[in-house]
Amino acid sequence: MDLVKEIKRLKKEKNAVILAHYYQVAEIQDIADYVGDSLGLSQKAAETDADIIVFAGVHFMAETAKILNPSKKVVLPDLNAGCSLADSCPPDSFETFTKQHPDHVVITYVNCSAEIKALSDIVCTSSNALKIVESVPKDTPIIFAPDKNLGRYIIKETGRDMLLWDGSCIVHEAFSMDKLIELHKKHPDYKIIAHPESEEHILDTATYIGSTSGMINYVKEHQDQKFIVATEAGILHKMQQEMPNTELVPAPAVEDNTCACSECHFMKMNTMQKLYDCLLNESPQIEVPEPIRKRALLPIERMLELSK
């Protein structure tokens, strides 16, 4: 069976749209209607007129699409495609934490569950985190969750004193400083660019720090330079497609895996076969209980409004 052909046929038949994250496998990125970072994907999900949204990403991303589109079918190729960062913030514990600091504005990074979003005042992505934090009056204390690395980066950039939840992404914490130094010695003319979910010692080496789309745009603006890219290695596919003559190397991970780079096991759970199956069967569907959906919608809408 020609999966590409069949997916395109089903998509047309069912008026479906395929949204894919930059960390998906190359074949899925190539067949998607839109490939982007969390902010771009949220914006596309909010404006789509498709009847079915096929979300080639992880669970919290598909949930965000469902929160924005309660009447549409939202399907995820693999229901087990979760997120280590989202898992690091259990709703019960987080609710207790927020109740201990009732005067704080709660800003949560989009990489969290619908329940966590429902406990938030504003949601942000790595693309707009600085802008969102700076939109809060300076004398208002802030809780930032779940990513402590992104939180520390925001504190450094804005000078804001924020209370951080102790969560992190295993992919962005897997970069090896020793191997990075070694790699940089081999390629001293390569500039390091990094995602703000990375640990502080990695960010300190970077020429540019930004979201996945920010990193792509930075490389686009500096195509004559060479780069070591410190984020999930899936981003290199789109970068190389758009900048075929730019030399790119993934930042090395601590463990010795097949690609010697940092890959998100969850993101790679979606395959072309699963994408076809979920479009054919219109399942597994993502559902968000209405009371949670309504509460989670407000902070997402605030983010989208501030991101215009």
CA distance 62 to 283: 12
Q: What per-residue string of b and e applies to 212-244 under the rule 16 or more CB within 10 Å gives b?
A: bbbbbebbeebeeeebbbbbbbbbbbbbeeebe
Q: 245 in helix, strand or coil?
A: coil
Report which secondary-structure segment, H or E, holds 190.
strand 190-194
Across the range 104-116, mean pLDDT stands at 95
- 77-91, 101-115, 153-167, 252-266: which has the minimum mean pLDDT? 252-266
pLDDT single digits (tens) 274-294: 999 999 999 999 999 999 999
- Whole-number pLDDT of residue 255: 63
Whether 14 has a pLDDT exceeding 80, the answer reads yes
Distances (CA, A) of 245 to 25, 41, 214, 220, 237: 21, 27, 19, 11, 13
Q: 10 Å Cβ neighbour count for 96?
A: 10
Structure tokens at 178: 């020793």
d(CA 196, CA 113): 20
pLDDT above 70 (res 260): no
Whether 64 and 109 have beta carbons less than 8 Å apart is answered as no
The two three-digit tokens of residue 25, written as one number:
């496998």
- pLDDT tens by residue, 78-88: 988 878 788 88
Prediction pTM value: 0.88
pLDDT digits (tens, 9 = 90+) for 140-173: 999 999 999 999 999 999 999 999 999 887 767 6
